[in-house]
Amino acid sequence: MTETRKTTYREALNEGLREALQQDERVFLMGEDVGHYGGCFAVSKGLLEEFGPERIRDTPLSESTFTGAGIGAALGGMRPIVEIMTVNFSLLALDQIMNNAATYLHMSGGLFNVPLVIRMATGGGKQLAAQHSHSLEGWYAHIPGIKVLCPATMEDARGMLWPALLDPDPVLIFEPAVLYPMEGTLPEKPTPVAIEGAKVLHQGKDLSLISYGSSLHKSLAAAEQLAGEGIAAEVIDLRCLRPLDDTTIIGSVSKTHRALIVDEGWRSGSLSAEISARIMEQAFYQLDAPVERVCSAEVPMPYAKHLEEAALPQVETIVATARRMLNG
Amino acid sequence: MSKQLTDLEHDLALLRQMLRIRRFEEKSAELYSAMKIRGFLHLYIGEEAVAVGVAEALGAEDAVVATYREHGHAMVRGMSMRAIMAEMYGKLDGCCRGRGGSMHLFGVKERLYGGNAIVGGGLPVAVGLALADKLQGNNRVTCCCFGEGAVAEGEFHESMNLAALWNLPVLFACENNLYAMGTALELSESVTNLTEKTAGYGVPSAAVDGMDVVAVEAAAKQAVATIRQSGGPYFLESRTYRFRAHSMFDPELYRSKDEVEQWKQRCPIENLKTQLQQQGWLDDAKWAALEKEVADEVADAVAFAEQSDWEPVEELTRFVYSDREG
Ligand SMILES: Cc1ncc(C[n+]2csc(CCOP(=O)(O)OP(=O)(O)O)c2C)c(N)n1
CB atoms within 10 A of CB A318: 26
Q: Do B319 and A64 touch (CB under 8 A)?
A: no
**Is the per-residue pLDDT at A38 higher than 90?**
yes
DSSP conformational letter for A239: -
The answer to whether the beta carbons of residues A259 and A208 sit under 8 Å apart is: yes
pTM here? 0.95
Chain B partners of A108 at a C-beta cutoff of 8 Å?
96, 99-100, 104, 106, 114, 319
Chain A partners of B96 at a C-beta cutoff of 8 Å?
107-109, 111
Report how far ligand 1's centroid is from the alpha carbon of A319 (Å): 53
**The dihedral sign for the CA sequence B318, B326, B86, B103:** positive
* Rounded-to-integer distance, Cα B163 and Cα B171, Å: 10
Helix axes B48-56, B213-230, angle to 10 degrees: 40
C-alpha A47: how far from chain center: 23
CA-based nearest distance B159→chain A, Å: 6
CA-based nearest distance A202→chain B, Å: 31
Rg (CA), chain B: 19
Start-end ranges of CATH 3.40.50.920 in chain A?
A: 199-327
State percent of chain A over pLDDT 70: 100
* Rounded-to-integer distance, Cα A273 and Cα A219, Å: 18
Residue A62, chain B, CB below 8 Å: the answer is yes
Start-end ranges of CATH 3.40.50.970 in chain A?
A: 4-187
Provide CB contacts within 8 A for A52, sequence distance 6+.
Answer: none
Q: Where are the beta strands (DSSP E) in chain B?
A: 63-67, 112-116, 142-147, 170-176, 179-180, 183-184, 205-209, 234-239
Q: Do B321 and A96 touch (CB under 8 A)?
A: no
pLDDT tens digits for range B18-33:
999 999 999 999 999 9
Cis peptide before A53 (omega within 30 of 0): no
pLDDT band for position A1 (cuts 50, 70, 90): low
* Rounded-to-integer distance, Cα B83 and Cα B105, Å: 9
Of the candidates B116, B161, B319, the beta carbon closest to that of A110 is on B319
Of the candidates A60, A68, A107, the beta carbon closest to that of B165 is on A60
pLDDT tens digits for range B224-238:
999 999 999 999 999
* Rounded-to-integer distance, Cα B177 and Cα B246, Å: 10
Across all residues in chain B, what is the average pLDDT? 96
Nearest CA-CA partner of A118 in A139, A144, A90, A141:
A90
Provide CB contacts within 8 A for A165, sequence distance 6+.
Answer: A20, A24, A27, A79, A81, A115, A117
* Rounded-to-integer distance, Cα B155 and Cα B21, Å: 29
The answer to whether the beta carbons of residues A115 and A165 sit under 8 Å apart is: yes
Interface-testing mutation among B84, B155, B158, B167, with chain A (most A C-beta atoms within 10 A): B158
* Rounded-to-integer distance, Cα B115 and Cα B105, Å: 5
Mean pLDDT, rounded, for B193-211? 97
Nearest CA-CA partner of A159 in A116, A135, A190, A120:
A190
- Of the listed ranges A1-5, B43-47, B74-78, the least confidently predicted one is A1-5
pLDDT tens digits for range A270-296:
999 999 999 999 999 999 999 999 999
CA-based nearest distance B76→chain A, Å: 19
Q: Do B97 and A144 touch (CB under 8 A)?
A: no
Residue to substitute in B119, B172, B244 for testing ligand 1 pocket (most ligand atoms within 8 angstroms of CB)? B119
Domain ranges of chain B: 8-309
Q: Do A65 and B136 touch (CB under 8 A)?
A: no
Exposed, middle or buried, B305 (CB in 10 Å: 0-12/13-18/19+)?
Answer: buried
Helix, strand, coil % (nearest 5) of chain A?
40, 20, 35
The answer to whether the beta carbons of residues B155 and B123 sit under 8 Å apart is: yes
Nearest CA-CA partner of A80 in A116, A114, A33, A55:
A116
Of the candidates B97, B124, B136, the beta carbon closest to that of A65 is on B124
Report which residue type is found at B141. Answer: V
pLDDT tens digits for range A193-244:
999 999 999 999 999 999 999 999 999 999 999 999 999 999 999 999 999 9
ipTM for the assembly:
0.92
Q: What is the CATH number of domain B8-309?
A: 3.40.50.970
Rg (CA), chain A: 20
Provide CB contacts within 8 A for A273, sequence distance 6+.
Answer: A267, A293
Mean pLDDT, rounded, for B170-193? 97
**Is the per-residue pLDDT at A136 higher than 80?**
yes
CA dihedral A19, A125, A296, A254 (to 10 degrees): 50
The answer to whether the beta carbons of residues B273 and B53 sit under 8 Å apart is: no
Long-range contacts of B269-276 (CB under 8 A, 24+ apart): B269/B15, B269/B18, B269/B19, B269/B22, B269/B48, B271/B211, B271/B212, B272/B11, B272/B14, B272/B15, B272/B18, B272/B213, B272/B214, B273/B15, B275/B11, B276/B8, B276/B11, B276/B12, B276/B15
pLDDT band for position B5 (cuts 50, 70, 90): low
pLDDT tens digits for range B97-154:
999 999 999 999 999 999 999 999 999 999 999 999 999 999 999 999 999 999 999 9
State percent of chain B over pLDDT 70: 98
**Is the per-residue pLDDT at B324 higher than 80?**
no
Q: Which residues pair with B179 in a beta bridge?
A: B184
**Which sequence positions of A are flagged as catalytic?**
63, 132
The answer to whether the beta carbons of residues B57 and B236 sit under 8 Å apart is: no
A vs B: CB pairs below 8 A: 149
Q: Do A68 and B97 touch (CB under 8 A)?
A: no
**Is the per-residue pLDDT at A151 higher than 80?**
yes
Q: What is the CATH number of domain A4-187?
A: 3.40.50.970
How confident is the model at residue B4, as a pLDDT?
Answer: 45
Q: What are the φ/ψ torsions at residue B165 (nearest 5 degrees)?
A: -55, -45
The protein residue with its alpha carbon nearest to ligand 1, atom 13, reads: B180
Mean pLDDT, rounded, for A72-101? 98
* Rounded-to-integer distance, Cα A22 and Cα B258, Å: 64
Q: What are the φ/ψ torsions at residue A77 (nearest 5 degrees)?
A: 105, 0
Residues having CB closer than 6 A to ligand 1 are: B 69, 117-119, 147-150, 177, 179-181, 246
Q: Do A76 and B131 touch (CB under 8 A)?
A: yes
Nearest CA-CA partner of B46 in B234, B255, B225:
B255
Domain A199-327 of CATH type 3.40.366.10: no
Of the candidates B108, B142, B319, the beta carbon closest to that of A105 is on B319
CA-based nearest distance A218→chain B, Å: 33
Q: Where are the beta strands (DSSP E) in A225-271?
A: 233-237, 240-242, 259-266
